Structure formats: C-alpha cells, structure tokens
Amino acid sequence: MVLAAAAALQILAAQTPERQVAEAVKRVFDAMAAKDVAVLEAAFVPDAVLAAVRDDGRVVTTPASRWAASIVKAEGALLERMWSPKVLIDGDLAALWAPYDFHRAGKFSHCGTDQVTLVRQDGRWKIASLAYTVKRTGCEPSPLGEPAK
C-alpha cells in the first residue's frame, strides 16, 4: 500500500506530460472541494460528459456544465482522492485510470475507479469525458490513509 502511494507521488513529482495529465485531473478534485464552478467549467471541453456506473449497474450520464453547477449546491465538504494513476498519452490525447475514494462532510461516501479522457488544447489538458464506478461496499483501504479532519 505504501508503495502504491509512493508510485503516485513519483508520477505527480516528476516534470512529465504524465504529471501534467494527473495534475489536470487533480485540479478538478481541488475545485470540487473549493466548490469553484469557474475552475470546474474551465477544466472541461464544451459538451464534455460524466458517466457514473453505479454499484447496481445503472449508468447515469450528466453534462459536465450541469455537474459543475451542482457542486456549489452540494451539502458539506467534498473530498475526492486518487492514487496510483496510470496515464497513457498519444500526442494531444491522454487517458488516466486511477482508483479513488470520495468523502462527503468528513465521512466516507464511496470508492471506485476514475477513467478520464483528456485532450490538449492550446497547450492545456482538458477533460473530454470522465467515467467512474461507484462502490459503497467492498472498498480496499486507501494507501493514502484516513483523510485529515
């Protein structure tokens, strides 16, 4: 578990295109925590979509602009953390795959896997689609430990 966290830090610490992709996704998590709609909207290409694959098999899609607007109204503090991101890049196209956990109002909500497709526009990585699984049970403990209170 410690090795997984160390590997994630190595990707984020190195000055690489993979780091830039991972940082683009982390900016979304930080903006979500800050409930900053402007930063969230700027992180996505127009017409980007989020797709949640629920633990009951339902798939719920949401336009990114509607999702970003809903974050401001979310009750309590929001915290999403990913680790061990795997990043693939081909020119101006990238994909990130990483396990994550999500906490709302200081309490564990769910875990899953984020799959993010990004495109580079004007030298900046933007999210074209973000799909994720939602699991409320059977989650492995995060190698990041318990979130700070």
Separation CA 71–CA 86 (nearest Å): 26
Compute the chain's Rg from CA coordinates: 15
Q: How much is the pLDDT for 13?
A: 52
Residue 19 belongs to domain with CATH number: 3.10.450.50
Identity of residue 7: A
For residues 36-45, give the mean pLDDT: 96
- Whether 148 maps to a domain, the answer reads no
Neighbours of 25 (CB within 10 A): 24
Which residues on neighbouring strands pair with residue 94, listed in sequence order?
89, 118
Q: Is the pLDDT of residue 129 over 50?
A: yes
Number of domains forming the structure of the chain: 1
- Classify residue 47: in a domain, yes or no: yes
Q: Are 126 and 103 in contact (CB under 8 A)?
A: no
Tokens encoding 8: 């994630």
In a domain, 36, yes or no: yes
Q: 17: number of CA atoms within 13 Å, CB side?
A: 15
- 85-111 pLDDT per residue, tens: 999 999 999 999 999 999 999 999 999
**CA–CA separation, 20 vs 76, rounded Å?**
29
Confidence at residue 57, expressed as pLDDT on a 0 to 100 scale: 92
Domain ranges, residue 86: 2-133
125 is a domain residue:
yes
pLDDT at 2 over 60: no
Residue 142 in any domain: the answer is: no
What 134-140 contacts at long range (C-beta under 8 Å, 24+ apart), as own/partner pairs, is: 134/52, 134/53, 134/54, 134/55, 134/110, 135/55, 135/110, 135/111, 136/55, 136/109, 136/110, 137/55, 139/101, 139/108, 139/110, 139/111, 140/99, 140/111
Our measurement of the distance from residue 51's CA atom to the centroid of its chain's CA atoms, rounded to an integer in Å, reads: 12
Instruction: Confirm whether 144 is domain-assigned.
Output: no
Please report the pLDDT score of residue 14 as a whole number: 53
Residue 75 lies in a domain: yes
Quote the pLDDT of residue 12: 46
pTM over 0.75: yes
Residue 141 maps to a domain:
no
